[in-house]
Chain A
Amino acid sequence: MSHRLGTGGRLIDRARPMDFTFNGKSMRGYAGDSLGAALLGAGQVLVGRSFKYHRPRGIVASGAEEPNALVGLGEGQRFEPNQRVTTTELFSGLKAVSQNHWPSLEFDVGAVNAKLWRFFPAGFYYKTFISPRPLWKHVYEPIIRRSAGLGKAPDAETRDADRYEQLYAYCDVIVAGGGVAGLKAARQAADEGKRVILTEQNPHFGGRAVVDGIEVEGQAAEDWVKAQVAALQAMPNVTVLDRTMVSGVYDHGYVLAYQRVADHTPGAEKPRHRLWRVRAGQVISATGAIERPLSFAGNDIPGVMLASAIRDFVVNYAVSPGKKVAIVTNNDDAYRTALALHAVGVTVPAVIDARKEVTGDLPAKARAAGIRVIEDCAVRYVEGGKSVTGVQLCRFNSDGGAVIETLACDALGMSGGWSPVVHLWSHCGGKLTWDEGRALFRPDANRPPLGHDGQGFVTCVGASNGEFDDEGEAAMLPVWLMPAQASYELRAKAWLDPQNDVKVSDVQLAAKEGYASVEHTKRYTTLGMATDQGKLSNINGLAILSDALGQPIPQTGTTTFRPPYTPISIGAIGGEARGGIFQPLRKTPIYDWHMAQGAYWEPVGHWRRPYCYPKTGETHGDAVKREINQVRKSVGLLDASTLGKIIVKGPDAGRFMDMLYTNMMSNLKVGKCRYGLMCNENGFLSDDGVVARLSEDTFLCHTTSGGADRIHGWMEDWLQCEWWDWKVHVVNLTEQYAQIAVVGPNARKVIEKVGADFDLSAESFPFMDWKEGKIGGIEARAFRISFSGELSYEIAVPASKGQAFWDKLMAAGAEFGVMPYGTEALHVMRAEKGFIMIGDETDGTVIPQDLGLNWAISKKKEDFLGKRGMEREAMVSPDRWQLVGLETLDGSVLPDGALAPLPGKNDNGQQETQGRVTSTYFSPTLGKGIAMGIVHNGPKRMGEVIQFQSAAGGTVAARIVDPCFYDKAGEKQNV
Chain B
Amino acid sequence: MLLLTCPCCGVSAEETEFTNGGEAHLKRFGPGSSDADYEAYMFARKNPRGVHFERWRHAYGCGKWFLMARDTMTLEVYGAYKAQTTEPPADIQAKIKARRPEWEGYK
Q: A748 at the A/B interface (Cβ < 8 Å)?
A: no
Q: A452 at the A/B interface (Cβ < 8 Å)?
A: yes
Q: A871 at the A/B interface (Cβ < 8 Å)?
A: yes
From A429, which residue of chain B is reached at the shortest CB distance? B74
- Using Cβ atoms and an 8 Å threshold, which residues of chain A touch B21? 717, 721
Min CB–CB distance A792 → chain B (angstroms): 34
CB contacts under 8 Å to B, within A517-563, are none
CB contacts under 8 Å to B, within A870-886, are 871-872
Q: A491 at the A/B interface (Cβ < 8 Å)?
A: no
Asked whether, in the complex, the Cβ of A250 is within 8 Å of the Cβ of B30, the reply is no
Of A682, A720, A872, which is within 8 A of B65 by CB? A720
- Using Cβ atoms and an 8 Å threshold, which residues of chain B touch A450? 74-76
Q: Decide yes or no: A252 and B75 within 8 Å by CB, A452-B2, A871-B31 being known contacts.
A: yes
Q: Decide yes or no: A867 and B76 within 8 Å by CB, A713-B57, A713-B59 being known contacts.
A: no
From B78, which residue of chain A is reached at the shortest CB distance? A454
Chain B 12-42 interface mask (CB, 8 Å, partner A; 1/0): 0011000101000000111111010010001
Min CB–CB distance B73 → chain A (angstroms): 9
Asked whether, in the complex, the Cβ of B31 is within 8 Å of the Cβ of A862, the reply is yes
Q: A681 at the A/B interface (Cβ < 8 Å)?
A: yes
Q: B77 at the A/B interface (Cβ < 8 Å)?
A: yes
Asked whether, in the complex, the Cβ of B65 is within 8 Å of the Cβ of A863, the reply is no
Chain B 55-68 interface mask (CB, 8 Å, partner A; 1/0): 10101000111000
Chain A 700-728 interface mask (CB, 8 Å, partner B; 1/0): 00000000000001001100111010000
Asked whether, in the complex, the Cβ of B84 is within 8 Å of the Cβ of A724, the reply is yes
Asked whether, in the complex, the Cβ of B75 is within 8 Å of the Cβ of A251, the reply is yes
Asked whether, in the complex, the Cβ of A724 is within 8 Å of the Cβ of B33, the reply is no
Q: A79 at the A/B interface (Cβ < 8 Å)?
A: no
Asked whether, in the complex, the Cβ of A863 is within 8 Å of the Cβ of B76, the reply is no
- Using Cβ atoms and an 8 Å threshold, which residues of chain A touch B42? 681-682, 869
Min CB–CB distance A605 → chain B (angstroms): 16
Asked whether, in the complex, the Cβ of B83 is within 8 Å of the Cβ of A452, the reply is no
Of A252, A253, A254, A868, which is within 8 A of B38 by CB? A868
- Using Cβ atoms and an 8 Å threshold, which residues of chain A touch B29? 868
A-B contact count (CB 8 A): 74
- Using Cβ atoms and an 8 Å threshold, which residues of chain B touch A872? 35, 38
Q: A279 at the A/B interface (Cβ < 8 Å)?
A: yes
Asked whether, in the complex, the Cβ of B3 is within 8 Å of the Cβ of A724, the reply is no
Asked whether, in the complex, the Cβ of B76 is within 8 Å of the Cβ of A454, the reply is yes
In angstroms, Cα B74 to Cα A251, docked, is: 9
Of A452, A862, A868, which is within 8 A of B33 by CB? A868
Q: B99 at the A/B interface (Cβ < 8 Å)?
A: yes
In angstroms, Cα B80 to Cα A235, docked, is: 37
Q: B1 at the A/B interface (Cβ < 8 Å)?
A: yes
Asked whether, in the complex, the Cβ of A724 is within 8 Å of the Cβ of B83, the reply is yes
Of A452, A721, A871, which is within 8 A of B75 by CB? A452
Asked whether, in the complex, the Cβ of A252 is within 8 Å of the Cβ of B2, the reply is yes
Chain A 236-263 interface mask (CB, 8 Å, partner B; 1/0): 0000000000000011111000000000
Asked whether, in the complex, the Cβ of B63 is within 8 Å of the Cβ of A453, the reply is no
Asked whether, in the complex, the Cβ of A252 is within 8 Å of the Cβ of B3, the reply is yes
Min CB–CB distance A608 → chain B (angstroms): 22
- Using Cβ atoms and an 8 Å threshold, which residues of chain A touch B2? 251-252, 452
In angstroms, Cα B4 to Cα A279, docked, is: 12
Asked whether, in the complex, the Cβ of B64 is within 8 Å of the Cβ of A251, the reply is no
Min CB–CB distance B18 → chain A (angstroms): 12
Min CB–CB distance B96 → chain A (angstroms): 10
Q: Decide yes or no: A867 and B3 within 8 Å by CB, A252-B75, A720-B64, A724-B83 being known contacts.
A: no
Asked whether, in the complex, the Cβ of B31 is within 8 Å of the Cβ of A452, the reply is no
Asked whether, in the complex, the Cβ of A254 is within 8 Å of the Cβ of B33, the reply is no
Q: Decide yes or no: A254 and B75 within 8 Å by CB, A721-B65, A868-B29 being known contacts.
A: no
In angstroms, Cα B78 to Cα A452, docked, is: 8
In angstroms, Cα B30 to Cα A862, docked, is: 9
In angstroms, Cα B77 to Cα A9, docked, is: 52
Asked whether, in the complex, the Cβ of B74 is within 8 Å of the Cβ of A454, the reply is yes
- Using Cβ atoms and an 8 Å threshold, which residues of chain A touch B15? 251
Chain A 660-689 interface mask (CB, 8 Å, partner B; 1/0): 000000000000000000000110000000
Min CB–CB distance B54 → chain A (angstroms): 12
In angstroms, Cα B57 to Cα A869, docked, is: 25
Asked whether, in the complex, the Cβ of B3 is within 8 Å of the Cβ of A452, the reply is yes
Asked whether, in the complex, the Cβ of A722 is within 8 Å of the Cβ of B28, the reply is yes
Asked whether, in the complex, the Cβ of B77 is within 8 Å of the Cβ of A868, the reply is no
- Using Cβ atoms and an 8 Å threshold, which residues of chain A touch B19? 713
In angstroms, Cα B65 to Cα A816, docked, is: 51
From B24, which residue of chain A is reached at the shortest CB distance? A721
In angstroms, Cα B99 to Cα A863, docked, is: 42
Min CB–CB distance A29 → chain B (angstroms): 41
In angstroms, Cα B42 to Cα A869, docked, is: 9
- Using Cβ atoms and an 8 Å threshold, which residues of chain A touch B57? 713, 716-717
Chain A 844-872 interface mask (CB, 8 Å, partner B; 1/0): 00000000000000000011000111011
In angstroms, Cα B83 to Cα A135, docked, is: 57
In angstroms, Cα B75 to Cα A254, docked, is: 13
Of A251, A716, A863, which is within 8 A of B30 by CB? A863
In angstroms, Cα B38 to Cα A454, docked, is: 36
In angstroms, Cα B38 to Cα A869, docked, is: 8
Among B4, B30, B63, residue most surrounded by chain A Cβ atoms (within 10 Å): B30
In angstroms, Cα B15 to Cα A452, docked, is: 12
Asked whether, in the complex, the Cβ of A717 is within 8 Å of the Cβ of B65, the reply is yes
Asked whether, in the complex, the Cβ of A721 is within 8 Å of the Cβ of B55, the reply is yes
CB contacts under 8 Å to B, within A267-289, are 279
Asked whether, in the complex, the Cβ of B74 is within 8 Å of the Cβ of A721, the reply is no
- Using Cβ atoms and an 8 Å threshold, which residues of chain A touch B76? 450-454
Asked whether, in the complex, the Cβ of A867 is within 8 Å of the Cβ of B75, the reply is no
Among B19, B38, B75, B99, residue most surrounded by chain A Cβ atoms (within 10 Å): B75
Among A450, A454, A872, residue most surrounded by chain B Cβ atoms (within 10 Å): A454
Min CB–CB distance A279 → chain B (angstroms): 7
From A254, which residue of chain B is reached at the shortest CB distance? B1
Min CB–CB distance A326 → chain B (angstroms): 49
In angstroms, Cα B1 to Cα A470, docked, is: 39
From A721, which residue of chain B is reached at the shortest CB distance? B83
Among A451, A452, A871, residue most surrounded by chain B Cβ atoms (within 10 Å): A452
- Using Cβ atoms and an 8 Å threshold, which residues of chain A touch B65? 716-717, 720-721
In angstroms, Cα B76 to Cα A252, docked, is: 9
- Using Cβ atoms and an 8 Å threshold, which residues of chain B touch A253? 3
Of A250, A451, A716, A869, which is within 8 A of B63 by CB? A716
- Using Cβ atoms and an 8 Å threshold, which residues of chain A touch B14? 254, 279
Among A254, A450, A716, A720, residue most surrounded by chain B Cβ atoms (within 10 Å): A720
In angstroms, Cα B39 to Cα A868, docked, is: 11
Chain A 479-502 interface mask (CB, 8 Å, partner B; 1/0): 000000000000000000000000
Of A279, A682, A863, A869, which is within 8 A of B3 by CB? A279
In angstroms, Cα B30 to Cα A871, docked, is: 10
Min CB–CB distance A174 → chain B (angstroms): 14
- Using Cβ atoms and an 8 Å threshold, which residues of chain A touch B74? 429, 450, 454
Min CB–CB distance B69 → chain A (angstroms): 12
From A450, which residue of chain B is reached at the shortest CB distance? B74
Min CB–CB distance A208 → chain B (angstroms): 33
- Using Cβ atoms and an 8 Å threshold, which residues of chain A touch B75? 251-252, 450, 452
In angstroms, Cα B14 to Cα A250, docked, is: 12
- Using Cβ atoms and an 8 Å threshold, which residues of chain A touch B31? 862-863, 867-868, 871
The 8 closest A-B pairs by CB, nearest first: A454-B76, A252-B3, A720-B65, A724-B84, A254-B1, A452-B77, A450-B74, A721-B83
Given contacts A454-B71, A722-B28, 9 further A-B contacts (CB under 8 A): A251-B15, A252-B1, A450-B75, A451-B76, A720-B65, A720-B83, A863-B31, A871-B31, A872-B38
Residues of A within 8 A of B (CB): 250-254, 279, 429, 450-454, 681-682, 713, 716-717, 720-722, 724, 862-863, 867-869, 871-872
A-B contact pairs, 14 of them (CB 8 A): A251-B75, A252-B1, A254-B1, A254-B14, A451-B76, A452-B3, A454-B99, A713-B57, A716-B57, A717-B57, A721-B65, A722-B28, A868-B32, A868-B33
Residues of B within 8 A of A (CB): 1-4, 14-15, 19, 21, 28-33, 35, 38, 42, 55, 57, 59, 63-65, 71, 74-77, 83-84, 99
